Structure 1
Amino acid sequence: MSSLRAKIQDVFNEPACEQNRGKDAKARKKGCSKPLTPGAAGGGCAFDGAKIVLQPITDVAHLIHAPLACEGNSWDNRGAASSGPTLWRTSFTTDLTELDIVMGQGERKLFKAIREIKEAHRPPAIFVYPTCVTALIGDDIEAVCRRAAEKFGLPVVPVNAPGFVGSKNLGNKLAGEALLEHVIGTVEPDDAGPYDINILGEFNLSGEFWLVKPLLDRLGIRVRACIPGDARYLDIASAHRARAAMMVCSTALINLARKMEQRWDIPFFEGSFYGITDTSEALRQISQLLVKKGADPEILDRTEAMIADEEAIAWKKLAAYRPRLEGKRVLLNTGGVKSWSVVHALMEIGIEIVGTSVKKSTVEDKERIKQILKDDNHMFEQMPARELYAMLSEHKADIMLSGGRTQFIALKAKTPWLDINQERQHPYAGYEGVVQLVRQIDLAIHNPIWCQVREPAPWDCQPAVREELPRTKSEAATLHAVQEFAGTTADDFGEC
């Protein structure tokens, strides 16, 4: 537990974080999480954050050492995609019971579970996650993992991030610490080259990194490790031989990027693959970092040539949507890197941003938004559901982009909505991704269903009922009988 306390303190003192550097010593010890108010959701625990970062490593067995309920965090919690192995989709847990806890059988049961996974699946590594229960009863996870690694001849990595130690964001960083301590640098590649890079904080949601990787392949740039999206254990273990790195989400793995630069001299920058301009700028910065590390300068010319070709194709495709979307108003209720990268992507085609949430954004993210929007009047830390509904019902936005938790507010306000968070079904990265994003916005805004749901309900204004004279005596008798049965006559019918 003392080692865990030291790791947490080290994360709180992260010097690469601009916001952290502005705090005094007392404020820094409190970390980045805001105190919760009664009834408010915490947004995920440290265990949840660690699992989110590491689970997309697709060929690894992820073992939860805890009661069964803790593995409610399943493989599909972020919509990450794999191009090969599927072991990450299998849930493994020691399924501790009250009897195991009382009798002190937790460590023995963990060792047995590791052996069973090794014999049944033969993964290249096993990641072990303790949770609140096993951390509180004092199971020595690190000792069990060391013994199992010696006994079974494969890496067994302890991910020491029980839920009670802090927020989901803290768990992200503790997962990065686990990779630094137990994985990265443990394998020496025999094919290291001057064009190897790492991508940090990219989760390959809906397979969107597959829209970016072909661009890098055309330039001769090899992604040695994408952490964690569609990653393999051996790729991450040899990631220390990359020449440069791009950080996509600083709030998750900034400590990993900084320490890899300190230990192995891998320079990094923070960029985005959302939008035409940001994608082009990210490709330029990658090439420039590689040249500084000894790559042939001719890659800069090849990069510019490819950017010109790809931008021309993308703008040609977007031209068809500009007349339909120019001037449309978008409310962006998300956070992190998307709070500025998606804003920039939408403004490039003439869409107006009426507001963007910065709840989970860093100081750097907020500064980028100010530069893009020219002011901070459209930034909001948090908007209550009631205010969000009022804004949409008053038609101050034509569409809302957000996560699944606020979709019903938009639907209640009869406003188009599009999922932009991790549960999304379409990839939005790269040049092809921004075209897909604009296409989905166009489909959502111009869906004919909105014209129908906004019309008054039939019972709000009934049309006048005009009685038609029956043509035969039998029809008249039938109508009279029905009216008597219902207790009404023709005179009871009137206009709305």
Structure 2
Amino acid sequence: MSSLRAKIQDVFNEPACEQNRGKDAKARKEGCSKRLTPGAAAGGCAFDGAKILLQPITDVAQLIHAPLACEGNSWDNRGAASSGPTLWRTSFTTDLTELDVVMGQGERKLFKAIREIKEAYGPPAIFVYPTCVTALIGDDIEAVCKRAAEKFGLPVVPVNAPGFVGSKNLGNKLAGEALLDHVIGTVEPDDAGPYDINILGEFNLSGEFWLVKPLLDRLGIRVRACIPGDARYLDIACAHRARAAMMVCSTALINLARKMEQRWDIPFFEGSFYGITDTSEALRQLSQLLVKKGADPEILGRTEALIAEEETIAWKKLAAYRPRLEGKRVLLNTGGVKSWSVVHALMEIGIEIVGTSVKKSTVEDKERIKQILKDDNHMFEQMAPRELYTMLSEHKADITLSGGRTQFIALKAKTPWLDINQERQHPYAGYDGMVELVRQIDLAIHNPIWRQVREPAPWDCQPAVREELPSTKSETATLHAVQEFAGTTADDFGEW
């Protein structure tokens, strides 16, 4: 636990983070995450964050050393895609019980589970995660992993990120530390070249990185490792021989990017593949970094030619949607890199942004939003469900872009909704991804179902039926007779 505490403090003291550099020594020790509220899930624990970041490595077996519920609650929570191995789709856990904890059988059970996975699946590596229970009872995960690696002849990597140490964002960074300590640099490639790059923080959600990789292939740029989307263990082990790196989401792997630059002189920048302008700028910066590291400067000209060709095609496709979407109002309830990259992408085709969430955004993300929107009035840290419903029901937005947790608020307010988070079904990266995003927004807004559900229900359209009181003596007498008859019983009729 002492080594884990030291690792956490090292992650908190992140010199590459502008927000962290501006703090005093005491504030820096608390890290970048907000204080956790007792009894609240706080958006996921450190274990969940570590598992999210490493699970998309497609050929690695992910073994959770914990009671069954820990794995059950975290498995399959990202829509990442694989072009080959499917081992990452299999869930592995030691399934500790109360008896195992009481009798001290945790480490023995973990070693046995590693052996069974090795014999049944033969993966190139096994990642082992302790959780709150196994960390609190003191199971020595690192010792078991080291012994298993020697015994079975394959890397067994301890990922020390039990849930109680902090937030999901902290778990992302601790997973990056595990890759630095046990994976990256352990294999020397025999085909290193001057056009090799790393992409950090890209999850290949719905296969969207496959829309970007062909662009890099046309430039002769090889992705040595995309961490973690559609990655292979061997690719990550050789990632230290890349010449440049692009970081897609700094809140997740900025510590990994900085330390790889320090150890292996791999320069990096933060960019985005969402939107036409941002995709073009990302390609330019990658080419410029490669030239600085010794690549032929002619790649700069080829990059500009590719950008001009692809932008022309994309804008031509988007021209059909501009008359239908220009002036439409969008509310984004997301965070991180999407809080500014998607904003920029939508504004390029004339869509108005009425609000964007910055709950999970860094200071740098917020500054980008201010530059794009020209003010900070459209940024909100947190919007209560009641406020969100009121805003949508008053038709202050034509569509909501968010994750699955807020879709029902939008649907209850009879407002179109589109999934923009990790559960989405469509890829939105690159030039083609931007066209697809606009197409999905157009389909959602102009779906005829919204016109139907907003119309009054048939029973709300019926004229009100009002009971008329009797006005004449004869009508009053008839009413009394009916009331008197209604008050009789069967016995009152006798034999009649």
Aligned-partner SS, 1:73: helix
Most deviating of 31-40 and 193-202: 31-40
Contact conserved, 2:314 with 2:431, CA < 8 A, in 1? yes
Q: Per-residue deviation at 1:34? A: 1.8
Matching of residue 178 in structure 1 with residue 188 in structure 2 = no
State whether residues 339 and 365 of structure 2, in contact with CA within 8 Å, keep that contact through their aligned partners in structure 1.
yes
Q: In 2, distance between residues paired with 1:238 and 1:455?
A: 60
User: Residues 194-247 of structure 1, C-alpha deviation per residue, up to 9 Å, x if partnerless?
Assistant: 000000000000000000000000000000000000000000000000000000
What are the Cα deviations for residues 133-185 of structure 1, in whole angstroms up to 9, with x where unaligned? 00000000000000000000000000000000000000000000000000000
Q: CA deviation at 1:114?
A: 0.3
- Shift in alpha-carbon separation, 1:439–1:181, aligned structure 2, 3 A: same
CA positional deviation for 1:32: 2.0
CA gap of 1:40–1:140, structure 2 versus 1, over 3 A, is closer
Q: Percent of aligned pairs with the same residue?
A: 95
1:382 shift after superposition: 0.7
Contact 1:62-1:126 at 8 Å conserved across structures: yes
Rate the CA distance shift 1:473–1:129 in 2: closer, same or farther, 3 A: farther
Q: CA deviation at 1:65?
A: 0.3
Shift of the 38–469 alpha-carbon distance from structure 1 to 2, 3 Å rule, reads: closer
What's the CA shift for 1:479? 22
TM-score normalised by length of structure 1:
0.93
1:469 matched to which residue of 2? Answer: 469
CA gap of 1:46–1:74, structure 2 versus 1, over 3 A, is closer
* Structure 2, unaligned runs of 5 or more: none
- What is the alpha-carbon root mean square deviation over aligned residues? 5.9
Q: Tell me: CA distance 1:484–1:126, structure 2 relative to 1, closer, same or farther (3 Å).
A: farther
Q: 1:465 to 1:2 in 2, by over 3 A?
A: closer
1:87-131 per-position Cα deviation (integer Å, ceiling 9, x unaligned): 001101011111111111100110000000000000000000000
The verdict on how the C-alpha distance between 1:466 and 1:121 changes in structure 2, with shifts beyond 3 A counting, is same
| Residues 51, 74 of structure 2: 8 Å contact kept | no
Q: CA deviation at 1:475?
A: 28
SS in 2 for 1:495: coil
User: Alpha carbons of 1:116 and 1:378: their partners in 2 closer, same or farther (altered >3 Å)?
Assistant: same
Asked if structure 2 preserves the Cα contact closer than 8 Å seen for 1:330 and 1:399, the reply is yes
Deviations along 1:359-385, one digit per CA (max 9) or x if unpaired, are: 111111111111111111111111111
Note if contact 2:399-2:417 (Cα within 8 Å) is conserved in structure 1: yes
What is residue 334 of structure 1 aligned with on the other side?
334
Counterpart Cα distance in 2 of 1:475 and 1:206:
74
Aligned counterparts of 2:407 and 2:495: Cα–Cα separation in 1: 38
Given the superposition, is the C-alpha separation of residues 465 and 408 from structure 1 closer, same or farther in structure 2, using an over 3 Å criterion?
same
Q: Structure 1 pair 479/85, CA: closer, same or farther in 2 (3 Å)?
A: farther
User: Alpha-carbon deviation of 1:495?
Assistant: 44
The 8 Å contact of residues 75 and 88 in structure 1, kept in 2 or not, is answered as no
* Alpha-carbon distance in 2 for matches of 1:32, 1:482: 79
Question: Is the contact between residue 464 and residue 495 of structure 1 (CA under 8 Å) also seen in structure 2?
Answer: no
Matches of 1:237 and 1:8 in 2, distance apart?
Answer: 23
Contact 2:48 2:74 (8 Å CA) reproduced: no
Partner Cα distance (2:180, 2:56) in 1: 17
2:71 alignment partner in structure 1: 71
The corresponding residue for 2:91 is 91
Question: Hey, which bits of structure 1, 4+ residues long, moved more than 3 A?
Answer: 36-41, 463-496
Say if 1:463 and 1:363 are closer, same or farther in 2 by CA, change over 3 A: same
Q: Distance in 1 between matches of 2:495 and 2:91?
A: 63
Q: 1:101 to 1:373 in 2, by over 3 A?
A: same
- Tell me the distance in 1 between the aligned counterparts of 2:187 and 2:468: 88
**Cα 1:70–1:492 shift into 2, 3 Å:** farther
**How many Å apart are 1:250 and its aligned residue?**
0.3
Contact 1:483 1:489 in 2 (8 A): no
Q: What's the CA shift for 1:483?
A: 18
Asked whether the equivalents of residues 331 and 397 of structure 1 are also in contact (C-alpha less than 8 Å), the reply is yes
Structure 1 residues 350, 138: closer, same or farther in 2, change over 3 A?
same
User: Does the C-alpha gap of structure 1 residues 471 and 432 become closer, same or farther in structure 2, counting only changes over 3 Å?
Assistant: farther
Question: Which has the larger displacement, 423-432 or 456-465?
Answer: 456-465
Q: Distance in 2 between matches of 1:481 and 1:120?
A: 89
Aligned-pair distance for 1:17? 0.7
Q: CA deviation at 1:28?
A: 1.1
In the TM superposition, what is the alpha-carbon distance from 1:470 to its structure 2 partner? 27
Cα distance 1:485–1:56, how it changes in 2: closer, same or farther (>3 A)?
farther
Shift of 1:461: 2.1
Q: Which residue of 2 aligns with 1:149?
A: 149
Secondary structure in structure 2 of the residue aligned to 1:227: strand
Give per-residue Cα distances to partners, 1:254-296, cap 9 Å, x unaligned.
Answer: 0000000000000000000000000000000000000000000
CA distance in 2, matches of 1:257, 1:487: 88
- Single out whichever of 336-345 and 73-82 deviates more from structure 2: 73-82
How far 1:33 sits from its partner (Å)? 2.4
Structure 1 position 460, deviation (Å): 1.5
**Contact 1:74/1:91 (CA < 8 Å) preserved in 2?**
no
Structure 1 residue 86 displacement after superposition? 0.3
Conserved? CA contact 1:465–1:494, under 8 Å: no
Of the structure 1 ranges 32-41 and 449-458, higher mean CA displacement relative to structure 2 is found in: 32-41
Aligned partners of 1:474, 1:329: CA distance in 2, in Å?
A: 64
Does the CA contact (< 8 Å) of 1:83 and 1:230 recur in 2? yes
Report the Cα offset of residue 457 of structure 1: 1.3
Contact 2:173–2:256 (CA under 8 A) maintained in structure 1: yes
Checking the alignment, whether the CA contact within 8 Å between 1:81 and 1:230 is kept in structure 2 is yes
Give the 3-state SS of the residue equivalent to 2:74 in structure 1.
coil
User: In the alignment, is the contact (CA less than 8 A) between 1:47 and 1:131 conserved in 2?
Assistant: yes
Classify the secondary structure of the residue corresponding to 1:76. Answer: coil
Query: 1:38, CA displacement in angstroms?
Result: 5.6
**Max radius of gyration: which structure?**
2
| Separation in structure 1 between the aligned mates of residue 374 and residue 349 of structure 2, nearest angstrom | 17
8 Å Cα contact 2:66-2:130 kept in structure 1: yes
CA contact 2:81–2:230 (8 Å) conserved in 1: yes
Higher mean C-alpha displacement, 412-421 vs 481-490: 481-490
